[in-house]
Structure 1
């Protein structure tokens, strides 16, 4: 998946960002925060038909505010947006935010995935959960970010088109690369309606299982074509894969938005089908501008390509690192 010219690094090695999770394994939900204490330039691309989000309009290039202090990826469907308020409150308490005179207002973008049908539908990431994830990010000092059934990926599942009983466990993945002075990473909570495949070979990694013994992953796209007009996608199989690209590059809002658009191609490379009417697929980009002052500006297309590769690997890692929970098997179980 990764080119030889891209050197793998830990996503925590990208200067200007801190990362933290809040996880409730019993209820199968959680949230993940990406904090930029000094602020970062943000962009976003939303391609799914059912997004649950906060402050995405602010990221439009023509709008005024040009700094983001955190992105919160959360379970809990629209209820999970409450966690972003906890992120904002904790950042304000730590004097991180946009100076508006009487106080500092942290700019917190957020997107949520649907995990209500997997664990406890009435336990969702809330204000306290968002604040706790920030404390982990800024006080934890971890050298690596936990992956799998943690944070926003705790209740993630994939391959639900044939019913939740034939689905498999998804999760959260994080991967990063450096190319010269450029560093680019991606975090993804993989909760797709479709199957997850190897982007190079197309071989299935996790997804809808056959009805016979549940050990073979079926081709959902071919199944959809065969179903034709009889195909149905009820709301109880609502999904959404949410991601955040982080980089040390110097970008404008318009450039960050373009990188998000390019990186979204990773979804099409890895998830089949993707961007359905019941997915709220969203990709954020945060650019800290911490790259060495003497480093030449990287071509935008190169940054977008590196972001796409990082997101491909993060999506795959999200299901490879997951473990079986609440009766659903994971990739490692098959």
Structure 2
């Protein structure tokens, strides 16, 4: 396996990603879409998810393909970004057709970024417009770090962000991941320089510092994020519902909804490798899977194993890249990895 030419989820041919953000708001939206509707599934492992239309993705539900997937900041308000994407797709004539009616199918998920130092005193929700702008910006090329839905993301110890990575398998299939890293847990080991995902790094894509030589790690649950939120509001802040890592793993393989769901489930291994702790009661951790179906599988048994394994590796790398690529901005309540340990 080796990374695709962009080392982005858009190495899966036909996929496009668009970002839109408001830096005063310290929030934004990211949209994944494709040239044609694609198979999608989801698996939720966090205890506090925020989602829209995810029930449609279960293998036993009628809808077989979606038009876009949305990742957004804004907590519950950010689910409105899906409405902006629906409006934009409808204007393009994209969606499920029933007579003269056209209904775009757009599942989405959100992260909590309401206590990150941004101006949240809006009168009308900014998220429908952010969703539509992100759709309009969809392209094979897009920025990582403090962009799109990763604009205001925070990890346990430093700024989070938007990350992506890809792999091309020996079978010729491509797998990619796209993630908004906003967990209560840490993406780095104590000292905030080495990444938990370091064993899976390729070609120095998130700094090339290698594995932390220390042992006995992972025994503290300190979250500088929760401390910074408490300082911002002048009172203790509950971690319940205030964190989440949301992701999409994608492939050009021809998958059923059940197979796509299995890939989403396996990809959570990558989240656990890159974030400590993860999948807790106060994170809404979830992974969508997307399959364009452009390349059938010659040996489905063996190739599904490889796809699932590659998805987990891509997701771990994408999470580390999200933090590595984050950039400082006025009003930040946490430092960036690039600024060194605080």
Compute the TM-score of the two structures, normalised by the length of structure 2.
0.81
Structure 2 counterpart SS, 1:274: coil
What do residues 89-143 of structure 1 show as CA deviations (whole Å, max 9, x unaligned)? 1101101111121222111010000000002234564211111111111xxx4x5
**For residues 241 and 71 of structure 1, what CA distance do their matches in structure 2 show?**
15
Q: Is the 8 A contact 1:233 1:278 kept in 2?
A: no
Q: Is the 8 A contact 1:30 1:125 kept in 2?
A: no
Match of 1:193 among 165, 174, 184: 184
Question: 1:229 corresponds to which residue?
Answer: none
* Equivalences for residues 114-129 of structure 1 within 5 A: 114-118=112-116, 119-123=118-122, 125-129=126-130
Question: 1:282 corresponds to which residue?
Answer: 286
Match of 2:146 among 145, 149, 166: 149
Runs of 4+ residues deviating >6 angstroms:
none
**For residues 241 and 338 of structure 2, what CA distance do their matches in structure 1 show?**
23
Question: 2:164 corresponds to which residue?
Answer: 174
Question: 2:274 corresponds to which residue?
Answer: 270
Per-residue deviation, 1:297: 4.7
What do residues 136-173 of structure 1 show as CA deviations (whole Å, max 9, x unaligned)? 11xxx4x52200000000000011xxxxxxx4111001
Q: In the comparison of the two structures, how many residue pairs are matched?
A: 298
**For residues 129 and 299 of structure 2, what CA distance do their matches in structure 1 show?**
40
Structure 1 counterpart SS, 2:220: helix
What do residues 282-313 of structure 1 show as CA deviations (whole Å, max 9, x unaligned)? 1000100122x6x6255211110111111111
**For residues 45 and 176 of structure 1, what CA distance do their matches in structure 2 show?**
20
**For residues 3 and 271 of structure 2, what CA distance do their matches in structure 1 show?**
22
Query: 2:87 aligned with 1:89, yes or no?
Result: yes
Question: 1:253 corresponds to which residue?
Answer: 257
Compute the TM-score of the two structures, normalised by the length of structure 1.
0.83
Cα gap change, 1:125 to 1:239, in 2 (>3 Å)? farther
Question: 2:328 corresponds to which residue?
Answer: 324
Per-residue deviation, 1:270: 0.6
Query: 2:48 aligned with 1:42, yes or no?
Result: no
Question: 2:76 corresponds to which residue?
Answer: 78
Per-residue deviation, 1:329: 1.1
Per-residue deviation, 1:198: 2.6
Cα gap change, 1:13 to 1:170, in 2 (>3 Å)? same
Query: 2:103 aligned with 1:111, yes or no?
Result: no
Match of 2:16 among 15, 18, 41: 18
**For residues 76 and 135 of structure 1, what CA distance do their matches in structure 2 show?**
20
Any unmatched runs of 5+ in structure 2?
Answer: 188-194, 207-215, 223-235
Per-residue deviation, 1:237: 7.5
**For residues 24 and 126 of structure 1, what CA distance do their matches in structure 2 show?**
10
**For residues 35 and 79 of structure 2, what CA distance do their matches in structure 1 show?**
21
**For residues 265 and 83 of structure 1, what CA distance do their matches in structure 2 show?**
28
Per-residue deviation, 1:202: 10
